[in-house]
Structure 1
Amino acid sequence: MAKLYFYYASMNAGKSTVLLQASFNYRERGMRTMVWTAAVDDRYRPGTITSRIGLEAEAHVFAAETDLRGAIETEHAAAPLHCVLVDEAQFLSGAQVGQLADICDELDIPVLAYGLRTDFLGQLFDGSRRLLAIADVLNEIKAVCGCGRKATMNLRCDHHGHVARAGAQTVIGGNDRYVAVCRRHFTMAMRNGRLPDFRRAA
């Protein structure tokens, strides 16, 4: 039976790179994939997954109202799909995660979802919460804090090193807005309101 996979990580762990490599591996063997990304992520060209190391690929775009099951079923009926891959999976709704599980269970197509586990306040995204609850396989993609420990948290900051401690859950950005840190330095930064000096705080 096909499985629902959730690959989660902090910012800048290479999630999109891993997704693009997985899709390439299927396609290299003559298998069809369907790749999705979130409409809300407009850092690059719409409908494109772009990794920080320069890899990119065209993708279907999902929004809150997107019927993923219907779209995937239509694509599969036109020509069999061998895998569905979803980038920015934290932006899925709980219902959409359920649709992806149905794709695995009823169409026997594996689904690989890649996304953040928590936001800049250390709270779960809705899509991530549901994926953590029902995915068949959970895999953590490792990132590194400035101190050398494993980065598991995301800090939102400005160019002066001030850390956001309130605000909207979703503010799109990359290295210019977010820093991946370990839990120790996340706690320190939230307490002090500033990015840690890793040279002294490690």
Structure 2
Amino acid sequence: MATLRFSFGTMGSGKSTLALQIHHNLAARHMYGLLLTKLDREGEQVTSRLGVAAPAIQVTDDLDIHQLAIQHWPLHYMVCDEVQFYSPEQCDQLATIVDDMEVDVYAFGLITDFRGHLFEGTKRMLEIADEREPLHVEARCWCGARATHNARVVNDFVVYEGETVVVGDTAGPGAQKMFGDTVRYELLCRRHYNLGELGV
């Protein structure tokens, strides 16, 4: 019986690394599957900050993932990274693929946005997944405490308002500013997130 598994965590918890590992392991056993991502910092591939990457199908806002699976039939599995950015309808399409096509789906995503709120895709995956697995690689705040928040840092200050989706990276403090604001993300514990303290 196929399963919809949702693995989630903060930045730095190994989501993309695990997604790539699962895809590699299944493909090595001569199983045919699709690797998908949305808004990866490197474009049409899944990338890990450890330096590994693989080409992936880019999930656009208008992509019907169920139809994509039908077009690639026969299919054994799908590995979906950055599902926090998928629409609720696309998440439901993943469930349909599991239920109607008996295809295992391994989905990975962030749990909350920079405001500490669930992403729409994350919320829907938590509601419908057969298995919900927090990732056990614990990222740490600069103070050493367990990191619980993905803080958005604009020009070296933590911000709490703005568009939900702004692609940035985890470049260090004082990164060179180009074309206006420098946007990056930093992992913080709840206390330092609320205080807006970056420890620099």
Residue 187 of structure 1 is matched in structure 2 by 194
In 2: Cα distance, 1:184 partner to 1:93 partner: 31
In 2: Cα distance, 1:25 partner to 1:109 partner: 16
From 92, 105, 108, the equivalent of 1:111 is 105
Deviations 1:11-41 (A, max 9, x none): 1222111100011110111111200011x33
Q: How many residues align?
A: 186
Residue 7 of structure 2 is matched in structure 1 by 7
Identity value in percent = 39
In 1: Cα distance, 2:132 partner to 2:188 partner: 21
From 52, 56, 72, the equivalent of 1:55 is 52
Look up the equivalent residue of 1:188 and give its one-letter code. Answer: L
In 2: Cα distance, 1:103 partner to 1:143 partner: 32
Secondary structure in 1 matching 2:22? helix
In 2: Cα distance, 1:92 partner to 1:24 partner: 23
Residue 132 of structure 1 is matched in structure 2 by 126
In 2: Cα distance, 1:155 partner to 1:68 partner: 30
Residue 62 of structure 2 is matched in structure 1 by 65
Look up the equivalent residue of 1:50 and give its one-letter code. Answer: T
Look up the equivalent residue of 1:164 and give its one-letter code. Answer: V
Secondary structure in 2 matching 1:179? strand
In 2: Cα distance, 1:29 partner to 1:149 partner: 40
Comparing 7-16 with 88-97, greater Cα deviation is found at: 7-16
In 2: Cα distance, 1:37 partner to 1:109 partner: 18
Secondary structure in 2 matching 1:90? helix
> By how many angstroms is 1:187 displaced?
2.0
Matched, 1:153 2:160: no
> By how many angstroms is 1:159 displaced?
4.6
Structure 1 or 2: larger helix share?
Answer: 1
Residue 94 of structure 1 is matched in structure 2 by 88
| Unmatched 5+ stretches in structure 2 | 172-183
Residue 160 of structure 2 is matched in structure 1 by 165
Residue 23 of structure 2 is matched in structure 1 by 23
